[in-house]
């Protein structure tokens, strides 16, 4: 009897624990919940963190994020108003604003992302198709470059740069956000912002753009080379002119020095001649013969030459002494 009573009390305690454990649930910060009864949401969404109560076994808790969520769309090929095909990649931030409506319409985050794909991609396509390419890549506050920077740009590109942008990239994204917000609230979603993450030409157009860029760079390089060659020729011309001037000055200076030296030599020769004309004539004759002779030269003298005359006179002065010396031997 006592054992049966103990078993019954044990089952009762266990039932109470199970009932009470299923009657309470907790929410973390950044979470919100919707109570579902027999597959249908009941009551208002629970958005405050803490301990909460529900009917055990009958009701269940569906939890959802309360924080910002990221949506990344797939890159799409879209033509602009000017028929330039571009790849555009967009991203957005969103949150679950009404968890009950969110559960009833899309049920899960995966379903919400699918709806965002349809809505945002459609709005982006409409806005891009109605806009010029320049409005997608520039802002309305962009300042057109002037001066030397604009002078280096080709004429067709220069005209494109001078175009006034009515609405730029920021205005385009604001328009996409405003249009998407008109549809999204019915799913219990709040769209915070939309951004164009990346924009690029399609492959065929990209190759044409690259070819034009290469051609333009080659043109600029050729212009720089031409200017460099012109500057080089100018520098070389200046250098040749200065070199000729330096050579002319040096030659003039050499001639001046040589003339001055010749004048001084002439003065020395004149002074020597005035001091002893006969010795001067003799010295000059010896120098003349010395400069005109080498080791293989043969000298033929006539009896009336000055050199023979000097040799004869010097011999007559030396020979008597020499003869006396030989006789003494």
Helix (H) or strand (E) holding 32: strand 31-37
Q: Note the pLDDT of residue 310.
A: 67
- For the packed helices 203-275 and 277-291, what is the interaxial angle rounded to 10 degrees? 140
What is the rounded radius of gyration, in angstroms, for the C-alpha atoms of the chain? 56
Confidence category of residue 306, pLDDT binned at 50, 70, 90: low
DSSP-derived secondary structure for 34-91: EEEETTEEEEEEE-S-EEEE--TTTEEEEEEE-S-EEEEPPPEEEE-TTS-EEEEEEE
Q: Note the pLDDT of residue 102.
A: 94
Which of 66, 169, 163 lies closest to 127 in space, CA to CA? 169
Q: Is the pLDDT of residue 246 over 60?
A: yes
pTM of the model: 0.56
Q: Note the pLDDT of residue 113.
A: 93
Q: Note the pLDDT of residue 271.
A: 79
- Give per-residue pLDDT as tens, 40-80: 999 899 999 998 888 888 889 999 999 999 999 888 888 88
Q: Is the pLDDT of residue 328 over 60?
A: no
- Give per-residue pLDDT as tens, 87-136: 899 999 999 999 999 999 999 999 999 999 999 999 999 999 988 877 88
How far from 116 is each of 110, 122, 178, 254, CA to CA, in Å?
Answer: 10, 10, 14, 94
Mean per-residue pLDDT for 27-33? 92
Q: Sign of the CA dihedral 9, 13, 19, 22?
A: negative
- The larger pLDDT score, comparing residue 275 to residue 145, is at 275
How far from 78 is each of 9, 106, 175, 284, CA to CA, in Å?
Answer: 72, 28, 17, 107
- The larger pLDDT score, comparing residue 17 to residue 316, is at 316
pLDDT above 70 as % of the chain: 74
Q: Note the pLDDT of residue 139.
A: 72
Mean per-residue pLDDT for 199-205? 78
Superfamily of domain 69-201: Band 7 domain (3.30.479.30)
Mean per-residue pLDDT for 191-197? 92
Q: Note the pLDDT of residue 69.
A: 95
- Residue for token digits 């004048």? 263
The residues of the chain that CATH labels 3.30.479.30 are 69-201
**Could you give the angle at the alpha carbon of 84 between the alpha carbons of 78 and 90, nearest 5°?**
35
- For the packed helices 306-328 and 277-291, what is the interaxial angle rounded to 10 degrees? 100
Q: Note the pLDDT of residue 151.
A: 59
Mean per-residue pLDDT for 254-281? 80
Count of residues in the chain: 329
The SS3 assignment for 25 reads: strand
Q: Is the pLDDT of residue 329 over 50?
A: no
CB 89 within 8 A of CB 128: no
- Residue for token digits 């990209």? 206
- The larger pLDDT score, comparing residue 198 to residue 327, is at 198
Confidence category of residue 323, pLDDT binned at 50, 70, 90: very low
Query: Which stretch of 43-47, 180-184, 256-260, 271-275 has the lowest confidence by average pLDDT?
Result: 271-275
| Ramachandran sector of residue 39 (left: φ over 0; alpha: ψ -120 to 50; beta: rest) | left
Confidence category of residue 169, pLDDT binned at 50, 70, 90: confident
Cross-sheet strand order for the sheet of 59-65? 40-46, 31-37, 59-65
Mean per-residue pLDDT for 300-311? 71
What does the mean pLDDT of the chain come to?
80
- Most distant CA pair in the chain: distance in Å? 187
């Amino acid at each position: 009897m006592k054992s049966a009573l103990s078993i019954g009390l044990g089952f009762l305690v266990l039932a109470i624990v199970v009932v009470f454990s299923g009657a309470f649930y907790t929410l973390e910060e950044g979470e919100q919940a919707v109570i579902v009864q027999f597959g249908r949401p009941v009551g208002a969404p629970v958005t405050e963190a803490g301990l909460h109560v529900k009917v055990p076994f009958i009701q269940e808790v569906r939890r959802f994020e309360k924080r910002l969520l990221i949506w990344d769309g797939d890159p799409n090929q879209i033509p602009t108003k000017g028929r330039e095909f571009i790849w555009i990649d967009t991203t957005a931030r969103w949150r679950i604003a009404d968890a009950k409506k969110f559960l009833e319409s899309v049920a899960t985050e995966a379903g919400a992302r699918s709806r965002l794909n349809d809505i945002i991609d459609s709005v982006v396509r409409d806005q891009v198709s109605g806009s010029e390419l320049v409005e997608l890549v520039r802002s309305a506050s962009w300042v057109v470059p002037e001066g030397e920077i604009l002078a280096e740009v080709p004429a067709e590109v220069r005209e494109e740069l001078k175009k006034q942008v009515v609405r730029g990239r920021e205005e385009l994204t604001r328009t996409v956000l405003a249009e998407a917000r008109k549809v999204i609230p019915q799913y219990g979603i709040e769209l915070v912002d939309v951004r164009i993450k990346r924009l690029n030409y399609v492959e065929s157009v990209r190759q044409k753009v690259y070819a034009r860029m290469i051609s333009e760079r080659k043109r600029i390089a050729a212009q720089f080379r031409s200017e460099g060659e012109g500057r080089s020729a100018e520098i070389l011309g200046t250098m040749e002119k200065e070199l000729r001037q330096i050579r002319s000055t040096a030659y003039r200076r050499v001639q001046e020095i040589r003339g001055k030296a010749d004048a001084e030599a002439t003065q020395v020769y004149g002074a020597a001649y005035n001091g002893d004309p006969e010795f001067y004539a003799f010295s000059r004759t010896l120098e003349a013969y010395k400069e005109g002779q080498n080791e293989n030269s043969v000298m033929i003298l006539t009896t009336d030459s000055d050199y023979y005359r000097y040799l004869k006179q010097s011999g007559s002065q030396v020979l008597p002494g020499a003869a006396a010396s030989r006789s003494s031997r």
